[in-house]
Amino acid sequence: MITYEFLQQYWWCLVSLLGALVVFLMFVQGANSQIFTLGKNEEERRLIINSTGRKWEFTFTTLVTFGGAFFASFPLFYSTSFSGAYWVWMLILFSFVLQAVSYEFQSKLGNVLGTNTYRWFLVINGILGPVLIGTAVGTFFHGANFIVNKDVMGDSLATAISQWSTPWHGLEAVANPWNVVLGLVVFFLCRVLGSLYMLNNIDDAILQPRLRRQVLTDTVPFLVLFLAFVGHLLFMEGWSVDPITGVVSMEAHKYLANLLALPAVSVLFLVGVLLVLFGIVRTLLSPTFLRGIWFSGIGTVLTVWALLMLVGYNNTPYYPSLTDPQSSLTLANSCSSEFTLMAMSIVSLIIPFVLAYIFYAWRSIDLQGITRKELEESEHKY
């Protein structure tokens, strides 16, 4: 039976999946953050840029679709978080704007700012993108500073329904070190994924051993920070909403309780983590193994998907308010109408078809890895 509640859960599941895909696809950013450290000379840098250059649009498009889907399904989050944490989102957007033009412009004659400037734009986006998105997601667990009061629409000089209670407009998130830890987890994960992706995508004898070493270098901080965050998550106090009264209160070990209450999500989480680790370990142990990105990539999607579902299901406000807990956003109080969710759900049935043609098109141009020779001969390159 398709109830309003089911539709809310379905859309949270979809939005979570899109968010998880964004994190996975940020292997582009992870790789770009290493343009100057991994690429020792011009030719190697071009290999890296051309390798991620064939994928960046998917990351970008998924980010935009994530935004659109979140808007359509949970508009109160869109209005509250984007206007409130203004500076965090603006910085993320700026870095992605710079990235989008940099590929096409960096190698072209007359690009005004010079090749290296555009490459630095790619590096800046490669660092800021994952760190800021990770930190922003941290506030899903640790709360943000806002209040929501819809009654203000009754005033002729209406003020905003959603208001932020700090003048820092989102930057205050770094005051909670665990938000920053999550930002760094995402950052190092993206770097690991970036190296795994390039191993698979660039067919080059010199870069490959270097990439394998880089996987190890980034895995160490990733693992330490990730395990610390998971430990923190299992023991932390969380917000909980009474499904009948809608009253929000604190609950000890909330996310541990969620994991136990949602066995399917727990399994997803565990399988995801194992896949991420398998992809990394196999790459480190076997010098001929190139498919690490598939395992770690799929593992990343499953892990992040599970984490995001954990934060919204089982009567958990997914965007808790530190200023006024009763303003916290839950699936029920922030979602679109039943009609809109239903209409959107019908549209969502087309997603498998979209995935199928993406897969087909990717395969058709990506069967062989990029080589120095191909770059030399190709007319369209970055």
Contacts to other proteins from residues 310-369, by CB under 8 A: 324, 336-337, 339-340, 343-344, 347-348, 350-351, 354, 357-358, 361-362, 364-365, 367
CB of 181 to other proteins, least distance (A): 26
Residues 37, 258: Cα–Cα separation, whole Å: 41
Mark residue 261 as left, alpha or beta (left: phi above 0; alpha: psi -120 to 50; beta: remaining). alpha
How far is Cα 368 from Cα 58, in angstroms, rounded to an integer? 19
Q: Identify the residue among 21, 31, 72, 136 touching other proteins (CB under 8 A).
A: 72
Shortest Cβ 297–other proteins spacing (Å): 18
**What CA–CA distance (Å, rounded) separates 199 from 298?**
16
Q: Is 242 in the site for other proteins (CB under 8 A)?
A: no
Least gap, CB of 173 to other proteins (angstroms) = 16
Q: Which stretch binds other proteins (CB under 8 A): 65-73, 200-208, 232-240, 255-263?
A: 65-73
Q: Kindly tell me which of 279 and 312 has the beta carbon lying closer to other proteins.
A: 312
158 binding other proteins? (CB under 8 A): yes
Q: 326: exposed, middle or buried (C-beta count within 10 Å: 0-12, 13-18, 19+)?
A: middle
Nearer to other proteins, 280 or 329 (CB): 329
Nearer to other proteins, 3 or 156 (CB): 156
CB 188, min distance to other proteins, A? 25
- Among 12, 24, 89, 120, indicate the residue that binds other proteins (CB under 8 A): 89
Distance CA 82, CA 66 (A): 13
Binder among 61, 116, 249, 286 for other proteins (CB under 8 A): 61
By the rule CB under 8 A, 267 interacts with other proteins: no
Closest CA to 121 of 239, 32, 186: 32
Residues with Cβ < 8 Å from 237, sequence gap 6 or more? 250, 251, 252, 253, 254
SS3 286: coil
Q: State residue 139 phi and psi, 5-degree precision.
A: -70, -15
Between helix 207-235 and helix 177-201 the angle, nearest 10°, is 150
Neighbours of 202 (CB within 10 A): 23
The interface region with other proteins, picked from 105-113, 132-140, 277-285, 313-321 by CB under 8 A, is 105-113
CB of 373 to other proteins, least distance (A): 13
- Label residue 320 exposed, middle or buried (CB < 10 Å: 0-12, 13-18, 19+): buried
**252 is a site residue for other proteins (CB under 8 A):** no
From candidates 90, 236, 262, 271, binder to other proteins by CB under 8 A: 90
For residue 9, which of 271, 314, 324, 371 has the smallest C-alpha distance?
314
Nearer to other proteins, 143 or 272 (CB): 143
> 236: buried, middle or exposed (CB in 10 Å: 19+, 13-18, 0-12)?
middle
The residues pairing with 202 across neighbouring beta strands, listed in sequence order, are 370
CA–CA gap between residue 126 and residue 212 (Å, rounded): 19
Distances (CA, A) of 9 to 131, 292, 320: 28, 32, 18
Kindly determine how many residues on this chain lie close enough to bind other proteins according to the rule CB under 8 A.
Answer: 86
- Binding mask of the shown chain, residues 36 to 55, with x at each position contacting other proteins by CB under 8 A: ------------------x-
By beta-carbon proximity to other proteins, the closer residue of 61 and 116 is 61
The verdict on 244 binding other proteins (CB under 8 A) reads: no
Per rule CB under 8 A, is residue 159 in the interface with other proteins?
yes
Which of 167, 263, 285, 352 lies at the binding interface for other proteins (CB under 8 A)? 167
| 88 vs 310, beta carbon nearer other proteins | 88
Among 3, 41, 109, 205, binds other proteins (CB under 8 A): 109
